[in-house]
Amino acid sequence: CLGCVYLTSIPDDAAPLFPPAGYGIKVTFWIRSDEAGRGLEEELLATLRAWFAAEWHVDQVAYTISKENSAQAELLGGAGLLYQGDTTLADGRVCRVYAE
């Protein structure tokens, strides 16, 4: 296992961060720490974005990361995704939200 990708619908509490959309998905992903720095995260993000554009019929793709995860924030921002704001999950964790 190199990591994991989670796809869910955009939660209601995060909806105010986005313009009204027909259908949106929330994307969260991680890779193992021993794989960091090898370009795997960049490749995974590029592959996910291409896959969503080609095969998914969604109006919005929201990438969520832990508020403390500066490496992923740099990755998403460096890829041209824009910080939309923070949202609090049902379990109390605060996440940063990025989107096109």
Q: What is the mean pLDDT of each run of 10 residues along the chain (100 residues)?
A: 90 71 86 90 96 92 93 96 90 91
Query: Residue 40: exposed, middle, or buried by beta-carbon count in 10 A (0-12, 13-18, 19+)?
Result: middle
For residue 27, the cross-strand partners are: 7, 63
What DSSP line would sit under 22-54, residue for residue? S-EEEEEEEE-GGGTTTTHHHHHHHHHHHHHHH
Write down the pLDDT at residue 21. Answer: 62
This prediction's pTM: 0.88
